Amino acid sequence: MSTEIRTLTLTLLLATTAVAAADAEIEFPAESARPVVVTATADDEPPVDTVQTKVAAPVAVKNKPWIEPYGAIAGGMHLQSLHQPAEVKTSGQNPTVAVSRLGLRGGVGPYVTFASEFEASLGGPLGYGASVWEGQAALAIRDQFVRYTRAGFSFAAGRIADPASYDYVSSHLGDLLYSDLYTRDPLLYSGADRGNGLFGSYAPNKYITFAATFHSTNPTGITGTLAIGGKLQPFDRPFYLAAAQVGNSQNNLPDQNLHIYFGSPAVMFHSEHLEAKAEIQMYSLDTQQAVDDDQTIRGYNLRLGARGHLTTPIGALSPFANVSRNRNEILDPTDSKYRLPDLFRSYTFSVGTDLDITKHAGLGASYSMVDTREPDQHVREHYLNLGTSYWIEDSVAVGVRGSIFAQQISGETMTTGARSVFVTARLMLN
Q: What angle do CA 346, 350, 356 make, to 5 degrees?
A: 165
- CA-based nearest residue to 336, from 376, 299, 286: 286
DSSP 31: G
Q: If 0-12 CB within 10 Å is exposed, 13-18 middle and 19+ buried, where does residue 61 land?
A: exposed
Q: Is the pLDDT of residue 41 over 50?
A: no
Segment 192-216 shows an average pLDDT of 96
Give the model confidence (pLDDT) of 339-353 as tens digits.
Answer: 899 999 999 999 999
SS3 (DSSP) at 225: helix
pLDDT tier at 26, thresholds 50, 70, 90? very low
| 243 closest CA partner among 281, 267, 234, 135 | 234
With a cut of 80, say whether residue 248 has pLDDT above it.
no
> Do 162 and 199 touch, CB atoms closer than 8 A?
yes
For the chain, what is the domain count? 1
Q: Averaged over 61-81, what is the pLDDT? A: 90
Q: What does the alpha-carbon distance between residue 86 and residue 429 come to, in Å, rounded to a whole number?
A: 45
CA pair distance 72, 174, nearest whole angstrom: 11
What pLDDT score was predicted for residue 58? 52
- Which pLDDT does position 48 carry in this prediction? 34
Query: Predicted confidence band at 245 (pLDDT cuts at 50, 70, 90)?
Result: confident
- The residues near 152 (Cβ < 8 Å, ≥ 6 apart) are 22, 23, 202, 203, 204
Please state, rounded to an integer, the average pLDDT across all residues of the chain.
85
Q: Count the neighbouring beta carbons within 10 Å of the beta carbon of residue 63.
A: 9
The full 3-state SS of 254-277, as one line of letters, equals CCCCCEEEEEEEEEEEECCCEEEE
The helices-and-strands tally (H runs, E runs) of the chain is 3, 17
Q: Which pLDDT does position 264 carry in this prediction?
A: 98
Against a cut of 0.95, is the pTM above it?
no
Residue 365: CB atoms within 10 Å: 18
Strand partners, 260: 217, 285
Distance, in Å, from the CA atom of 296 to the CA atom of 5, rounded to the nearest integer, reads 12
Nearest in space to 47 (alpha carbons), one of 363, 309, 334 = 309
* 123-178 residue pLDDT tens: 888 888 877 776 666 788 899 999 999 988 999 999 999 999 999 999 999 999 99
Query: Quick one: residue 43, left, alpha or beta (phi over 0 = left, psi -120 to 50 = alpha)?
Result: alpha
Residue 390 Rama label (left phi>0; alpha psi -120 to 50; beta): beta
Per-position DSSP letters for 190-208, written without gaps between them: HT--EEEEEEEEE-SSSSE
List the domain range (segments joined by +) for residue 289: 2-429
**Cβ neighbours of residue 353 under 8 Å, at least 6 residues apart?**
170, 317, 318, 319, 320, 364, 365, 366
Does residue 39 contact residue 47 with C-beta atoms inside 8 Å? no
Give the residue from 14, 20, 16, 18 showing the smallest Cα distance to 201.
20
Residue 62 has a pLDDT of 55
Question: Which domain CATH number covers 395?
Answer: 2.40.160.10
pLDDT tens figures, 272-330: 999 999 999 999 999 988 888 889 999 999 999 999 999 999 999 999 999 999 999 99
Measured in degrees and rounded to the nearest 5, phi and psi for residue 255 equal -65, 110
**CB atoms < 10 A from the CB of 337, how many?**
11
| Helix, strand, coil shares, percent, the chain, to 5 | 10, 50, 35
